[in-house]
Amino acid sequence: MNRILSGLGLLILLSCSAADAPEPESNIWIKGRLLGTLADSVTLLDAYDFPVVSSHLDEDNKFSLAFNAASGAYYQLKYGDSAMPIYLSPQYDLILKINEQGKEADLEFEGRGKESNNYILSFSEFESVNKPAYDQLLAKSESEFLIEARRYRSKSEAFLRNYQEHHFNLDPNFIAKERARILYAWANRLIHYPEAHIYYTGEDEFAVSDTYHDYKKTVNLDASELITLPEYQRFINAYLDAEANILQEKGDKRRRTLIRFDLSNQLISEPQVKDFAQFDILKESLQTGLDESNKQILKSFMNSAQNGMMRAAIGDLVSRWEVLERGNQIPSLPAETIDATPFDIASYRGKFIYLRFWTTWCQPCLNDTTQLRHLSETEGNEDLVIISINLDQEKADWKAEMENRQTSADIIHLKVAPEDVDRVKESFMIHTLPRNILIGSDGRIIEPIAPPPGDPELEELMKAYSIALNS
């Protein structure tokens, strides 16, 4: 059984016939039919998760995708909550056959480009049987780890050679990328080993040998032809992170984001690779808001990045953070009480409001419960309204948690409807949980990422805001 699409339902891709061929500017074609899924569309995502082309299903659950590409690259074919990796190159015209048996399916590609994608399926099967257990591998001594990592790399290379010997039509560009996949998967294991070994073993004094990092001589930070390869992307990020860690250990006090961004400018020359690295750094950093540190690297990225889609995506994130800037009115919040009464945040104008977003599966959220109750009951906080907003998809999970926990009558408990959860997360830029927002008595945002309920800074923010309002 090929497990790469386990649980995805039934997917059948049919090649284009001459009668309904796509427009001339397209040089890659996919047509098909989806059965056994509630998805209403199919989308092809590129290596940066940007949509390339999408198609709604017709009344027969059929779809049609066609687009133009200059060279071969890795993509994700996505429908609903499921996705599968796929490699596409100019003039590819694929057929994907699925023989459904129970809850699993045998998968096989046919058509132009079938050899490349059947290899992806076969290598996934190989990995599921041969890949070492990650935690056990990283807990080994340096010498044992290097032997095991090299052994698995050699087995992977042998698998590729054997497959190539029996499939003469394999795309040579694809073969080169798959060789690189094996190399960078190995390099990723090596670059993570020192820190991960300490985590798994607790050996705080552990240090690798002087020659350990010689493997870096075999990899390249400027391989733009590999930029769509997931293993290469992960290595770029891991390399910058590891170098930033070295600088911090030597006393660099700058924020880690700034260090990584500067390193990307120093170590990477290829614009395509640099764009990817800095785009990822900015996306991660912007999860913490639009502070001066982020504005500094934002300006540099927007002035230098050549990828227009990346600039547009970062610009969209910035625009949404600007809505939440200090001094702005809070966006609308669709939520209701446990008895399904709609909530109106404007009715609490004149009081400070502490919004707290959480879910039942977020352990740090549950750990804050006592501090949140203490905050609500602390003398002097009569002008503070605490609003606890649940973002679970299932209302029953929220109700069960509320019944099992001790809370304060002074805390207002709300639930966002399942259909509104994604919209609320987007409006309030919620990337991690718990998330707290402090709102002033005039209805304006004091702090879009407020301190946790037990932090003394929270009270200081309210005092400072009251003084500013009354001055």
DSSP lists the bridge partners of residue 389 as 357, 414
What's the distance, CA 47 to chain centroid? 12
**CA atoms of 128 and 149, how far apart (whole Å):** 16
Residue 463, helix vs strand vs coil: helix
Residue 19 lies in a domain: yes
Q: What is the spatial distance between Cα 234 and Cα 184, in angstroms, rounded to a whole number?
A: 9
Q: Of 190, 219, 248, which one is at a domain's C-terminal end? A: 219
CA distance to 45, 51, 449, per residue, from 87 (Å):
11, 15, 40
Same domain assignment for residues 142 and 74: no
Last residue of a domain, one of 66, 86, 113: 113
Query: Does residue 340 sit within a domain?
Result: no
**Is the same domain home to 354 and 466?**
yes
- Whether 232 is covered by a domain: the verdict is no
Whole-number Å distance between alpha carbons of 267 and 162: 36
Q: What is the mean pLDDT of residues 83-110?
A: 75
Statement to judge: residues 105 and 199 lie in one domain: no
| pLDDT computed for residue 406 by the predictor | 65
The three-point CA angle 267-271-275 to 5° equals 85
470 touches 463 (CB < 8 A): no
Residue 36 belongs to a domain: yes
Number of Cβ within a 10 Å radius of residue 49: 10
Band (pLDDT 50/70/90 cuts) for residue 105 is low
Does residue 332 lie within any of the structural domains?
no
Q: Is residue 34 within 8 Å of 61, Cβ to Cβ?
A: yes
C-alpha span between 450 and 468 (Å, rounded) = 18
Q: Which of 87, 113, 139 is the last residue of a domain?
A: 113
d(CA 284, CA 281): 5
441 phi/psi in degrees, rounded to 5: -65, -15
Whole-angstrom Cα distance, residue 132 to residue 183?
Answer: 16
pLDDT digits (tens, 9 = 90+) for 185-226: 999 999 999 999 999 999 989 999 999 999 999 999 999 999
**What pLDDT score was predicted for residue 471?**
65
CATH of the domain at 89: 2.60.40
* pLDDT tens digits, 232-288: 999 999 999 999 999 999 999 999 999 999 999 999 999 999 999 999 999 999 998
State whether 371 and 436 are in the same domain: yes
How many structural domains is the chain composed of?
Answer: 4
CATH of the domain at 365: 3.40.30.10
The pLDDT of residue 2 is 45
Question: Is the residue at 125 inside a domain?
Answer: no
Q: Is residue 37 part of a domain?
A: yes
Q: Strand 104-112 relative to strand 352-358: parallel, antiparallel, unpaired?
A: unpaired
Strands (E), 309-442: 352-358, 384-390, 411-415, 435-439
Percent of the chain with pLDDT over 70: 90
Task: Let me know whether 261 and 302 are in one domain.
Answer: yes
Same domain, 180 and 252: no
Assess whether pLDDT exceeds 50 at residue 396: yes
The average pLDDT across 330-348 equals: 87
- Kindly state whether residues 180 and 75 are assigned to the same domain: no
Least confident among 48-57, 73-82, 150-159: 73-82
* Structure-block tokens of residue 208: 């690798």
Least confident of 21-35, 175-189, 345-359: 21-35
**Which DSSP symbol is given to 286?**
G
Q: Residue 12's pLDDT is what?
A: 45
Which residue do the tokens 């395509």 mark? 272
Could you tell me if residue 314 is inside a domain?
yes
Same domain as 465, residue 366: yes
Residue tagged 């992960």 (tokens) = 234
Q: Write out the residue range of the structural domain in which residue 255 sits.
A: 237-323
354 and 462 both lie in a single domain? yes
pLDDT, tens only, 421-457: 999 999 999 999 999 999 998 899 999 999 999 898 9
- Considering the domain architecture, whether residues 363 and 397 belong to the same structural domain is answered as yes
Q: Same structural domain for residues 317 and 359?
A: no
Q: Same domain, yes or no, for 199 and 275?
A: no
- Asked if 436 and 355 count as a contact pair (C-beta separation under 8 A), the reply is yes
How many CB atoms are located within 10 Å of the residue 241 CB? 17
pLDDT at 20 over 70: no
